[in-house]
Amino acid sequence: MTTTAAPLDVATVRADFPILGRTVREGKRLVYLDSGATSQRPRQVLDAERAFLEIANAAVHRGAHQLAEEATDAYEGARAKIAAFVGVDFGEIVFTKNATEGVNLVAYAMGNAATSGPEADRFRLGPGDEIVVTEMEHHANLVPWQQLAERTGATLRWFGVTDEGRLDLSDVDELINPRTKVVAFTHQSNVLGTVNPVKSIVDKAQAVGALTVLDACQSVPHSKVDFHALGVDFAVFSGHKMLGPSGIGVLYGKRALLEALPPFLTGGSMIEMVQMARSTFAPPPQRFEAGSPMTSQAVALGAAVDYLSAIGMDRIAAHEHVLTEAALKGLAEIPGVRVVGPLDTEDRGGAVSFVVEGVHAHDAGQVLDSLGIEVRVGHHCAWPLHRRMDAAATVRASFYLYNTLDEVQALLDGVRETQKFFGVA
Amino acid sequence: MTTTAAPLDVATVRADFPILGRTVREGKRLVYLDSGATSQRPRQVLDAERAFLEIANAAVHRGAHQLAEEATDAYEGARAKIAAFVGVDFGEIVFTKNATEGVNLVAYAMGNAATSGPEADRFRLGPGDEIVVTEMEHHANLVPWQQLAERTGATLRWFGVTDEGRLDLSDVDELINPRTKVVAFTHQSNVLGTVNPVKSIVDKAQAVGALTVLDACQSVPHSKVDFHALGVDFAVFSGHKMLGPSGIGVLYGKRALLEALPPFLTGGSMIEMVQMARSTFAPPPQRFEAGSPMTSQAVALGAAVDYLSAIGMDRIAAHEHVLTEAALKGLAEIPGVRVVGPLDTEDRGGAVSFVVEGVHAHDAGQVLDSLGIEVRVGHHCAWPLHRRMDAAATVRASFYLYNTLDEVQALLDGVRETQKFFGVA
Amino acid sequence: MQLQQMYQEIILDHYKNPHGRGLRDPFDAESHQINPTCGDEVTLRVKLDGETVADVSYDGQGCSISQASTSVLTDLVVGKPIGEAFKKMDAFVELMQGRGQVEPDEDVLEDGIAFAGVAKYPARVKCALLGWMAFKDAVSRSEGAKA
Amino acid sequence: MQLQQMYQEIILDHYKNPHGRGLRDPFDAESHQINPTCGDEVTLRVKLDGETVADVSYDGQGCSISQASTSVLTDLVVGKPIGEAFKKMDAFVELMQGRGQVEPDEDVLEDGIAFAGVAKYPARVKCALLGWMAFKDAVSRSEGAKA
Ligand SMILES: Cc1ncc(COP(=O)(O)O)c(C=O)c1O
Ligand SMILES: Cc1ncc(COP(=O)(O)O)c(C=O)c1O
C-alpha cells in the first residue's frame, strides 16, 4: 500500500497520550502493544468528555430545559459525526455499550421476530434455517449465534480457516445457500490480522437473500471503512478500540432493516406508547436505545472520530503497515518463532500473533512485561481459531498510530530475551 | 425522620460540582432540579476517572501485563466498594450499562431458562404463570416484563395505585399467589416519591416461592439501602443518578440465584469454554458481563460511592427531607397547583410532581426554564401511572444533596410566575 | 425577555381560542398522533373534495404550542389545493427545524410565522409539528383509500 | 530482577522435570480443569486409600507456573492423609492470593514456597492454582462416589 500524504508524526501524536509517558516494572519505559484489546485515549478525547460533564450534562431526549437541549445536541451531534466517519446516515447508527451488545442486539431481535408482526418476517428463524459464521470469529461474533441457533432450532455452520490464516472460501457456494438466513463474519481478525473479502461474501449472501453482519471492531479503528460501499446489512464496532471511551459501541444497520427489526432491550426512551398491558415502539435509532444512554461517552467518541479524521485514516493505516511489516520481517528472522496468520502484509492488519516454540505464551508475556512491553497472551477470545491453528495460546502484539519502529525493535529483542531466559535458543 | 449528625454543608458540597457554577438563558443562575433524571458529577468523580485513564487504562481480566493488572484491580476494587455500599457480597454485583439493562438481563435470562438445564428450573415461565408489576413502575420495570410475558405466554398482572399515590395492596393476597413467578416493583417512585413497603411484599412473594426484582434507581442514590436486609432476590440501579457516570448500572442478585441464572448477553469474558458448536459459561458475576466492560465508569462509580459515603447517606436523606417538606408545603399554598403523590413526607422521597391547573406541563417547564429552573416535564417514563393519576403530563422537581432551600423558593416563585404568564391566577 | 419571543400573542390567542376544533363528519381519513415524551395527542380528520382540502377537524390534548399550531394549520390548509397545503407544510417544517435561522415568509405561513421563536427550542419542535404530522398522515390515508 | 524472583529455579526445575506426570490407573476420580483466559488445561486423577492420598497422576498443557505447581502438588500430597493434604492446599491458596504479603511456611509447603513471587502477579495466580482446583474437585468426587 502506498500513500501520498506525509507520514504520521508519531512524536507529536504520542505527546497527546498522557499514559504513554508512564513507566512500568522497575522503571521500564511503557511499550504498549495491546491496542487490539483496548486503545489509549488522547487528551483531546478526555478533555471533550470532561467539558461536556462540566457544562452540559443532562438527561438527553427527555428534558425540555436548556441543559437537556445542549446535552441532546451534543449526543446527537456525536451520532452524526460517527455516521459520517463510517459512510452511513445519521439514523443508521445505534449506540450500544460495546460491540458485543451490538451482535447480541441483532441476534436477540431476530429471535424476537417470532412474536412480532409481518414486517419482521425476514428476520424470523427456525429449524431448517442456517446461520453461517467463521472459524476465525471473536467469541463476540460466535457465541450469540450459537445461542440464537439453540433458541430457535436453526443450524449453525461455519467457514474454515486455511493454514495460512485465510478464510477457506472453497465451500462458499455450499455454505451460503437458500437456507442461509444470516452470514456473520469479521472484517479483520483480531488474532491473525487477516482482512476478509467483505464485498464478495456480501454478494453471495445477497444472492440467496441472507442478511450480513460484519464485525468491524478491528477494521474501523485502523483504516477507512465505508459500510454503504461494503454493502453489509449490519456492522458493529467499539469505542474503546478507537481512542474513545469504554462503555460505548456502535451498531450500524441499513435504515430499512432497522425500521423492520423488532426491539431488543426495552424500557424508557424507546417507546411510542405504553399501557399496562402492552406497548408500541419508537422508530430507529431510538427503538434500540432503551434507558439512559452513554451520553458523555458518545460525545467523547465523537471527539475520537474528530481526532482520527484530523490525522487521516489513510495515514494511520500506512503507519501501521510499516510497523506490521517490520514486526513480521523481524519475527521471521528469529528461529523457533511461528507467526499465526498471514506472513505478508497483503490484506492484513496490524495484529501479529505468534508462538515461541518451547515457551508458553503466558511465560513469554511475563518476560516481555518485565521489559515494559505490554502484549496480550492467551486465545484472545478466539479459542476455536487457536485450536484450528494448533496453538493453545499465542502472544499478540497489536499496533496503533502511537507506536514506533523502536517499539517493534523492543518487541523483537524481547522475544530473543524470552528464548534466552527459558533456555530454548 | 430525625438525625443526630450535623446537617450537610451545602455550600461546600456545591463547590465540588463545576456545572452548578454555570448560568442558563440570558445569564440566569442554574437551579438544577432534575437529579431524578440524572445527577451532576463532583470533581472527585471526574478526577478519579481521568486519573485511571491517564495511568492504568487497559483491558481488564484479559491481560497479564502490569497495566492490565492495575486496571483489573481498579475495576474489581470498585465492585467491592459498590457491593459494600448496598450491603451485599462482592460476587453479587454485576455491571450493566444502565438499570434498564439490568431489568432486561433478568427478564431475558428467565426466558433463556427454556433452553437451559435443570439448575434453571426455577426461572422457567410459561402459560399459566404470572408476572406481577405495579401501576407506578417506570417503563424500565414494566416493558421488559410485558415482553417476557409475550414471549413465554405468561400473564402480566399489576398492583394499582391509590388516589394518594400509594401502592394499593388491598388485593395483595390475590395478586401474589402460587402461580406468581416474579414480583417486580419499585422501591421509590420517580414520579410520586412514594417509598414502597419492600419487606412486606418480599415476604408475600417468598411465601409463594416467587422471585422479587426491586427497581432501586431512586432509592440507592438518596438513602442507605441494604439489599440483604430487604431480602430482595434482584435489584437494579444506575450510576448516573448517584453522582457517577452515564453508561454504567448495577444488577444485584443473590449469589445462589446468579449461580443458577442462564446467561443473557454472550461473547468474550463470560465463557468457560468455547467450541464452534457450543460453549459453557463462567460463574457470576463474569457470566453476565460479556465483552469489554465499562472499566473507567466502574472506577468512577466507585469514587461516587466514596463521595456519598464520606458525606453519609443519612445526612443526604435528612437534607432532602427538609427540601421536600418545604416544596410540598409551598406548593400546597399555591391555589391551582395539584401535587401528584403523597402530600406528606412519610415514606416519601424527594421527587415532587405536580400539575398547574390550566397550564400544560411543557408550558410550565418553559417558563421555569426561562428563569433558570431546570425541571422535568412529561410523563417521566411512567405513562400508565400518569393516566391513573389523571394527568397527561406533570412538572417534576427532584432534589439532591447539592440543592438548597433557596432553590426550592425559586421553584415556588417560578410556579406563581407561570400562572401569571398564562393568566390562570 | 425570551419567553415573550417564544409565546407570541398570536400563539396564545390560537391556544385560548382554537380555530376549527372538534371532530366533524363527514371525513375521508383520520390520524392519531402521539408525542411519546409527554403523552400529548391529537386526532385529526381530513375531508377532501377532489384535489382540495375541504375540511380539517381535530381534537386532542397538549401544550399551547401543539394546540395553537394545529389551529393555525386549519387556517392555512382548509379550502386550499392539496399541493399548496403541502407546500405550506414544508415551509412550516423547514421553519421549525431551522433552529431560528430560517426567515419565515408571511405570505405563505400567515399566523404560522409566530412560531419562529419556538424553533429555537428543539424540545418543542415536536409539539409544533404534532398536528402537521397528523395532517400529512390523514391526507396520505385518504388518498390511499381512494387509489 | 523481578523476573528471577518469580521464576525461581525450583519452579523451572519442576517445569522441565515434572514429578508424577502422566495419567495412571487405578484411580477413584478424575477432574478436568480449564483456565478460560488462556485455554490451559489439566486432567488430574486421585487414588485414595482409606483416608490417605495414595496417588495423584495428571496430564495437561500450560505455562511453567501451572505445570510446576501441579508437580509440586504431587510431592506435597501423595502419601498424606486427606486432611493434611487439604491443609497444605489451604496454605498454598492463601499464599497465592496474598499478593506477596503472606510469608510461606517451608515446613508445610516445601518446594511450594517458591511460588511466593508468583503471588505478586494476580493474572498468574489462576495458573498456579489450576492443578490444585483439579485436586480438590477430584477428591470431592471420589469421596462423593464412596458415600
Ligand atoms: C424508577 C426508575 N427506574 C428505572 C429508571 C431507568 O434508569 P436508566 O435509564 O438509568 O436505565 C429510572 C430512571 O430513568 C427510574 O427513575
Ligand atoms: C474482532 C473483535 N470482535 C469483537 C470484539 C468485542 O468487542 P467488545 O469487547 O468491545 O464488545 C473484539 C474485542 O474485544 C474484537 O477484537
Cell of B88: 451485599
Cα distance between residue A292 and residue B305, in whole Å: 20
- Below-50 pLDDT ranges, chain D: none
Q: Which of B74, B294, B317, B381 is catalytic?
A: B381
How many other CB atoms are found less than 10 A from the CB of residue B283? 11
Listed ranges A23-27, B2-6, B365-369, D123-127; the one with the highest mean pLDDT? B365-369
Name the β-bridge partners of C60.
C42
Tell me, in angstroms, the distance from the centre of ligand 2 to residue B406's CA: 49
Q: Which helix (H) or strand (E) holds B205?
A: helix B198-207
Candidates A72, A271, A272; nearest CB to C122:
A72
Say whether A34 and B67 touch across the interface (CB within 8 A): yes
> C64 and B363: CB-CB below 8 Å?
yes
In this structure, of B145-154, B332-341, C101-110, D135-144, the range with the lowest mean pLDDT score is: D135-144
- For β-strands B180-186 and B130-134, DSSP reports them as parallel
Residue nearest to atom 15 of ligand 1 (CA): B217
Amino acid at A6: A
Question: A73 CB near a chain C CB, below 8 Å?
Answer: yes
Best CA proximity match to C16, nearest among B335, B360, B416: B360
**pLDDT at site A1:** 45
In B, minimum Cα distance to C13 occurs at B422
CB B301 within 8 A of CB B98: no
Residue D42: closest CA among D58, D57, D55, D20: D58
Q: Look at residues B222, B212, B227, B213 and name the one whose alpha carbon lies nearest to residue B102.
A: B213
ipTM: 0.96
Interface of B with A in 151-190 (CB under 8 A): 151, 156, 158
Q: Evaluate whether A324 touches A167 at the Cβ level (below 8 Å).
A: no
Interface of A with C in 251-280 (CB under 8 A): 271-273
First and final CA of chain D: distance in angstroms? 51
List of residues 6+ apart from B365 with CB closer than 8 A: A64, A65, B375, B376, B377, B395
pLDDT at C32 over 80: yes
Give me the percent of chain B exceeding a pLDDT of 90: 97
Mean local confidence (pLDDT), C69-82: 97
Q: Torsion angle, CA of A269/A275/A278/A281, rounded to 10 degrees?
A: -30
Compute the C-alpha angle B98/B402/C121, nearest 5°: 65
For chain B, the residue count is 425
Give the position of cell 478424575.
D30
Q: Give D46's strand partners.
A: D29, D56
Q: What is the DSSP letter of D81?
A: B
At residue C81, the 3 state secondary structure works out as strand
CB-side neighbour CA atoms (13 Å) of A261: 27
The residues pairing with B279 across neighbouring beta strands, listed in sequence order, are B274
Q: Which residues contact residue A194 at a Cβ distance below 8 angstroms, ignoring those fewer than 6 apart? A: A136, A165, A166, A167, A188, A341, A342, A347, A348, A349
Q: C-chain residues within 8 Å CB-CB of B389? A: none
Q: Are A306 and A77 in contact (CB under 8 A)?
A: no
* β-pair partners for B281: B271
In the chain, the amino acid numbered B391 is A
Q: Report the gap between the CA of C63 and the closest CA in chain B (Å).
A: 5
Distance CA B33, CA B395 (A): 11
Ligand 2 neighbour B63 (Cβ under 6 A): no
> Of the bound ligands, which one is closest to the alpha carbon of residue B188?
1
Whether pTM exceeds 0.90: yes
Instruction: Determine the Cα–Cα distance for residues A394 and A389; give it in Å rounded to an integer.
Output: 10
| Burial class of B173 by CB neighbour count within 10 A (0 to 12, 13 to 18, 19+) | exposed
Q: Do chains A and D touch (3 or more CB pairs under 8 A)?
A: yes
pLDDT score at C146: 63
Report residue B6's pLDDT band, with 50, 70 and 90 as the boundaries: confident
State which amino acid sits at residue B152. Answer: T
Report whether D31 contacts D44 (CB < 8 A): yes
**Angle separating helix axes C64-77 and C122-146, nearest 10 degrees:** 40
Instruction: Count other Cβ atoms within 10 Å, centred on residue B22.
Output: 15
The DSSP 8-state label assigned to residue A423 in this structure reads T
Torsion of CA A237, A239, A240, A242, to 10 degrees: 80
Q: pLDDT value at position C2?
A: 79
What are φ and ψ of residue B370, in 5° steps? -65, -20
> Reduced to 3 states, what is the DSSP secondary structure of residue A263?
coil
Tell me which residues of chain A, numbers 347 to 386, contact chain D at a CB-CB cutoff of 8 Å.
Answer: 360-363, 366-367, 370, 377-379, 383, 386
Interface residue A120 vs chain B (CB under 8 A):
no
Helices (H), C62-105: 64-77, 82-96
In angstroms and rounded to an integer, the radius of gyration of the C-alpha atoms of chain C is 14
Neighbours of B15 (CB within 10 A): 14
User: Do D63 and A362 make contact, defined as CB atoms within 8 angstroms?
Assistant: yes
Which residues have CB under 6 Å of ligand 1?
A: A 268, 291-292; B 98-100, 138, 140-141, 186, 190, 215, 217-218, 238, 249, 381
Cell 503507519 belongs to A319
Q: What is the pLDDT of residues B58-88, one digit of tens each?
A: 999 877 799 999 999 999 999 999 999 999 9
Nearest to A90 by CA among A282, A255, A211, A238: A255
Three-class SS of residue A314? helix
| Count of beta carbons in the 10 Å neighbourhood of residue D72 | 27
Ordered alpha helix ranges (H), B99-188: 99-112, 143-152, 172-175
Interface test with A, best of B22, B29, B49, B292 (most A CBs within 10 A): B292
CA C19 – CA B360 distance, rounded (Å)? 19
Contact predicate B141/B186, CB 8 Å: yes
- What pLDDT score does D147 carry? 55
Residue B380 Cα to ligand 1 middle (Å): 9
Rounded to the nearest angstrom, the distance between the alpha carbon of A138 and the centre of ligand 2 is 7
Per-residue pLDDT of chain A (425 residues; tens, 9 = 90+): 444 568 999 999 999 999 999 999 989 999 999 999 999 999 999 999 999 999 999 999 877 799 999 999 999 999 999 999 999 999 999 999 999 999 999 999 999 999 999 999 999 999 999 999 999 999 999 999 999 999 999 999 999 999 999 999 999 999 999 999 999 999 999 999 999 999 999 999 999 999 999 999 999 999 999 999 999 999 999 999 999 999 999 999 999 999 999 999 999 999 999 999 999 999 999 999 999 999 999 999 999 999 999 999 999 999 999 999 999 999 999 999 999 999 999 999 999 999 999 999 999 999 999 999 999 999 999 999 999 999 999 999 999 999 999 999 999 999 999 999 999 98
- Contact between D122 and B271 using a beta-carbon 8 Å cutoff: no
Contacts of A353 in chain D (CB under 8 A): none
Evaluate: CB of A107 within 6 angstroms of ligand 2. Answer: no
| 8-state DSSP, B391 | -
What pLDDT score does C1 carry? 58
d(CA D33, CA B4): 54
Does B76 touch chain D if contact means CB atoms closer than 8 Å?
A: no
Q: What angle do CA D17, D22, D25 make, to 5 degrees?
A: 145
Closest-CA residue to C60 (of C34, C26, C96, C93)? C34
State whether residue A393 sits within 8 Å of chain D by CB.
yes
Cell 528471577 appears where? D4
User: Do the two chains C and D touch, given a threshold of 8 Å on CB pairs and at least 3 pairs?
Assistant: no
Q: What's the CA dihedral at A398, A401, A406, A410 to 10 degrees?
A: -20
Is the previous residue joined to B245 through a cis bond, with omega within 30 degrees of 0?
no
Given A63, A272, A273, which is nearest C123 (Cβ)?
A63
Residue B381 a catalytic site member: yes
Distance CA A315, CA A318 (A): 5
How many angstroms is it from A236 CA to the middle of ligand 1? 26
Long-range contact set of residues B171-176: C-beta below 8 Å, sequence gap at least 24: B172/B201, B172/B204, B173/B204, B175/B132, B176/B132, B176/B201, B176/B204, B176/B205, B176/B207, B176/B208, B176/B210
pLDDT 10s digits, B224-278: 999 999 999 999 999 999 999 999 999 999 999 999 999 999 999 999 999 999 9
The rounded radius of gyration (Å) of the Cα atoms in chain D is: 14
